[in-house]
Structure 1
């Protein structure tokens, strides 16, 4: 069976998750990408074809002039609609392209949720700097952005003009969404569906950097959110048409009310998906691929119920050249399995971004007792050293 996988740059989710899963399922994989050299270097034994994957018409043409497809899949935020349209064109299982568009376009997501009367958030779009009569504080974000890139809190109209001007200079032609700040604790909900059955895999409690930025610094696994909270989030996902394959939803809870921040209609990233598969002891990546092959999910995934986990992202605190950093490590301490992976190479120079690009590495920790997981994680990180020179 032939799987076409659409990708931009290589990611850990694909390299360590989906491609090994495809091999275990016996699938023939063809990677379609606009960055073929990077993918050929990452996995030289796979078929990699150059394609303008941001254009669904180019994707359809590349597939129709190659091998017959059995599935078209992507885990990229930027390519969900293209993959959905290509799958629909070839009559294959896939996500509804309208749902992928609603999730990717943050302004359209707000309009859809308001129209369905499940949540209304003050929101507007900007194509140039402007002083708005808005309910401050507000959050500015690119309409189709990811990974907290250019997401910033503003306190007044003057701040809005200054910040939006900076973003437009970095991103000519972009459209910004300005929306009211939603207070509350930040969480995620991880779901997996086949269009008929939907499984809730738990979620994470997310700790952010101090404002005005929104860098995700620590995630702690939540095996089960309160049922009323889950019901509210699922109702909002239903309004968006989300229910096929993997979905990573970020939301806040304030005084018992759950409100979506954004919906990433794919598996959770930044190595959280790798942790989730290990923690739950399920073939998560295989399940996701099987849904795109048209196979139904089992009624019971058999997920482990006693897991505890934590992810930590050490961040750069200043710009400069990374001159010293810990190497990749894997070990077990007091029943906690630790996996550390560097995310920035020694010798690289970086600015300070105020986004996930400030990550120096990621620590994944899994066990069965959360206090022990937290303690072991803190002790491990305390023994690491990063040196950044101007």
Structure 2
């Protein structure tokens, strides 16, 4: 059976998660990408074809002139609609392309939720700097952005003008969404569904940097959110048409009410998916691929319920040259399994992005006791150094 996997830049989710899972499922894999050299450098034994994957017509044409597909899949935020449309074209299982579009377009998501009567958030779209009569403080962000890039909290109209000009200068032709700030603790809900059933895999409590930016600094696993919170999130996902395959939903809880921040219609990234598979003890990546092959999910995934985990991201606080940093490490301390992976090589010089591109590394910790997981993680990070020189 042949799997076509659409991708932009290489990611750990694909390299360490989906490609090995495809191998265990004995799938023939063809990667379609607009960055073929980068992918060949990461996995030279996989068939890689160059394709303008942002254009669904190019994707369909490339597949039609190659081998017959059994599944068309992507874990990219930017390519969900294209993958869904291509899969539908070939008569294959797929996410609803309309749901993929609604979740990618943050303004359309707000309109859809309001029209369904499940939540109304003040929002507006701008293509040039503007002093809006908005409910300040408010958040400005790219309409189709990812990873908290250019997501900023602004306190008044003049600050909105300045901030939006800076973002639009970096992103010519972009559309920005300005929306009311939603207070509350930030959480995620991770779901996995087929055509008939949707499993809730738990979620995370996310710690973010101080305002005005929203850099995710650490995530702590939450085995089960309160039932009313889960019900509120699922009601909003239903209104968007989301259910098939993997979905990573970010939301805040304020006064007991769950309100969506954004919906990423894919598996959670930044190595949290790798942690989730180990923590739950399930073949997570195989399950996701099987849904796109048309196979039903088991009624019981057999996930462990005794796990505790967290992910920490040592983050650059200044621009400059990384001159010293710890190497990749894997060890067990007090029954807590630690996996550290560097994300920036010693000798690299970077600007300060105020996004997850400032991450220097990622520490994954899995155990059965949350205080022990927290303590061992903190001790590991405190014993390491990351040196950045101007």
TM-score, L = length of structure 2? 1.00
CA–CA distance in structure 1, aligned partners of residues 184 and 267 of structure 2: 24
Aligned to 1:60: 60
Aligned to 1:210: 210
CA–CA distance in structure 1, aligned partners of residues 315 and 243 of structure 2: 34
Aligned to 1:367: 367
CA–CA distance in structure 1, aligned partners of residues 185 and 45 of structure 2: 44
1:70-118 residue CA offsets vs partner (Å, 9 max, x unmatched): 0000000000000000000000001010000000000000000000000
Aligned to 2:25: 25
Q: What's the Cα RMSD here?
A: 0.3
1:272-322 residue CA offsets vs partner (Å, 9 max, x unmatched): 000000000000000000000000000000000000001000100110000
Aligned pairs for 1:1-390 (under 5 A) are 1-390=1-390
CA–CA distance in structure 1, aligned partners of residues 334 and 49 of structure 2: 46
- For residue 366 of structure 1, give the secondary structure of its aligned residue in structure 2: strand
Give unmatched runs, 5+ long, in structure 2.
Answer: none
- For residue 345 of structure 1, give the secondary structure of its aligned residue in structure 2: coil
1:146-166 residue CA offsets vs partner (Å, 9 max, x unmatched): 000000000000000000000
1:115-173 residue CA offsets vs partner (Å, 9 max, x unmatched): 00000000000000000000000000000000000000000000000000000000000
CA–CA distance in structure 2, aligned partners of residues 70 and 145 of structure 1: 30
- For residue 310 of structure 2, give the secondary structure of its aligned residue in structure 1: strand
Shift of 1:364: 0.1
- For residue 112 of structure 1, give the secondary structure of its aligned residue in structure 2: helix
CA–CA distance in structure 2, aligned partners of residues 139 and 128 of structure 1: 16
- For residue 199 of structure 1, give the secondary structure of its aligned residue in structure 2: strand
**Structure 1 outlier segments of 4+, above 2 Å:** none
CA–CA distance in structure 2, aligned partners of residues 163 and 195 of structure 1: 43
1:202-256 residue CA offsets vs partner (Å, 9 max, x unmatched): 0000000000000000100000000000000000000000010000000000000
Shift of 1:15: 0.2
Shift of 1:357: 0.6
1:4-38 residue CA offsets vs partner (Å, 9 max, x unmatched): 00000000000000000000000000000000001
CA–CA distance in structure 2, aligned partners of residues 335 and 308 of structure 1: 11
Shift of 1:360: 0.3
Shift of 1:195: 2.0
CA–CA distance in structure 2, aligned partners of residues 46 and 378 of structure 1: 38
CA–CA distance in structure 2, aligned partners of residues 230 and 123 of structure 1: 24
1:153-204 residue CA offsets vs partner (Å, 9 max, x unmatched): 0000000000000000000000000000000000000000002100000000
CA–CA distance in structure 1, aligned partners of residues 56 and 192 of structure 2: 25
CA–CA distance in structure 2, aligned partners of residues 143 and 331 of structure 1: 41
What is the total number of aligned residue pairs between the two structures? 390
Once the two structures are overlaid, the 10-residue window that deviates more, 345-354 or 235-244, is 345-354
1:36-76 residue CA offsets vs partner (Å, 9 max, x unmatched): 00111111111000000000000000000000000000000
